[in-house]
Amino acid sequence: MKISIVLGTRPEIIKMSPIIRECERLNVDYFILHTGQHYSYNMDRVFFSQLELPNAKHNLDVGSGSHGEQTGRMLVGIEKVLRNEEPDVILVEGDTNTVLAGALAAVKLGILVGHVEAGLRSYDRTMPEEINRILTDHSSDYLFAPTEKSRQILVNEGIAKEKIFVTGNTIVDAVFQNLEISKSRRNVLRDLGLDSGEYLLATIHRQENVDNHKRFCNIIDGLERVQKELDLELIYPIHPRAMKHLKILGVEPSGVRLIEPLDYLGFLQLESNSKLVLTDSGGVQEETCILGVPCVTLRDNTERPETLEVKSNVLAGTNPHRIVKKVKLMLSHNNDWTNPFGDGKAGCRIVEILSGDRRS
């Protein structure tokens, strides 16, 4: 069996890392195909070096562009590599343009597709990620659903039960594998002059939030109000997309400390010691739930309803007053929920399922 691991953005590198480690451990025949969707050092290379991942065998260097342009360039490049390499199966993770391009290129060549993190739905088709998820799930031969809930969503959409495997989410593996290492190798709190439990953390980058300037201004207003009312430091490692729009707006948030995006060990440390996180990131909603840190999501919906059910997370939308209200609500709760995303062995399960299937 030969596996092609297709990835291209920060969260894919992090969430694929447990699968890559497992392939290395078992000496599986595999290679990494990087689309180059993310390319800045702190959105890409830093994760390969810090997580000690092997270099991508192929990097398409597609970079940024409109959705069609970016996805189209990936499709052409991925097809070429797959024709030459002839893998039995490709693996994609999540909901980015890289994921859709990988799945589409493979399915049209008759190569099996495995979708890691299958069955997530926000039911908001204005999100590019929702379209990518649906199309990828329906092109896949192996659907690795993180939870029973995501499995049920796939079954309800008519996907054959035999194709679906509940494995847990590989983000749990990544957190378990790296949290201890982060404590010994990184001291972000000291570098930033912060005390554990005495600051707030924010990450906001989604297209529907930052490209929409009314929503982004409301979010900034909400962050400023939260910071003022709670009188705690608020740190925001800012994604390049959000930085670009902040510059266009010419806004300098007051009381919000903007820093460069962090490496994974540094971010894990900052996240696990924070009092509360405000975010629109998918991965961060999961990680806070795993780490026992309360989360307020600055969106109107989530494809991670498990976090709402266990009450690690609450939706606040983008109204500044509502953001403050939801932060206070989350701080009044106990942080004693159980992580619904699995036991940290998702990567092993996925590689085992692929290795045990005679088709691949």
Catalytic residues: 205
| Residue count of the chain | 360
Q: Does 39 bind ligand UDP (CB under 6 A)?
A: no
Q: Does 264 bind ligand UDP (CB under 6 A)?
A: yes
- Region from 76-84, 111-119, 237-245, 247-255 binding ligand UD1, contact rule CB under 6 A: 237-245
**CA 209 to mean position of chain CA atoms:** 16
Tell me whether residue 302 or residue 360 sits nearer to ligand UDP (CB atom). 302
Beta carbon of residue 161, minimum distance to ligand UDP (angstroms, whole number): 28
Tell me whether residue 167 or residue 360 sits nearer to ligand UDP (CB atom). 167
Q: Does 187 bind ligand UD1 (CB under 6 A)?
A: no
Candidates 3, 5, 10, 269; binder of ligand UD1 (CB under 6 A) is: 10
Q: Does 205 bind ligand UD1 (CB under 6 A)?
A: yes
9: its two tokens: 């953005």
Q: Does 344 bind ligand UD1 (CB under 6 A)?
A: no
Candidates 144, 199, 236, 267; binder of ligand UDP (CB under 6 A) is: 267
Q: How far is residue 207's CA from residue 211's CA, in Å, rounded to a whole number?
A: 5
Tell me whether residue 5 or residue 324 sits nearer to ligand UD1 (CB atom). 5
Which of the choices ligand UD1, ligand UDP, none does residue 284 contact, using the CB cut-off of 5 to 8 A by kind? ligand UDP
Site for ligand UD1 in 134-163 (CB under 6 A): none
Q: How far is residue 121's CA from residue 112's CA, in Å, rounded to a whole number?
A: 23
193: which residues sit within 8 A by CB, 6+ positions away?
none
Q: Does 209 bind ligand UDP (CB under 6 A)?
A: no
CA angle 240, 246, 252 (to 5 degrees): 125
Each residue 283-302 as x (binds ligand UDP by CB under 6 A) or -, in order, gives xx--x---------------
Which of the choices ligand UD1, ligand UDP, none does residue 35 contact, using the CB cut-off of 5 to 8 A by kind? none
Which of the choices ligand UDP, ligand UD1, none does residue 273 contact, using the CB cut-off of 5 to 8 A by kind? none
Q: How far is residue 285's CA from residue 261's CA, in Å, rounded to a whole number?
A: 17
Tell me whether residue 155 or residue 243 sits nearer to ligand UDP (CB atom). 243
**Which residues are near ligand UDP by CB under 6 A?**
10-11, 14, 203, 205, 237, 261-262, 264, 267, 281-284, 287
**Which residues are near ligand UD1 by CB under 6 A?**
9-11, 37-40, 43-44, 64, 95-97, 128-129, 205, 239-241, 244
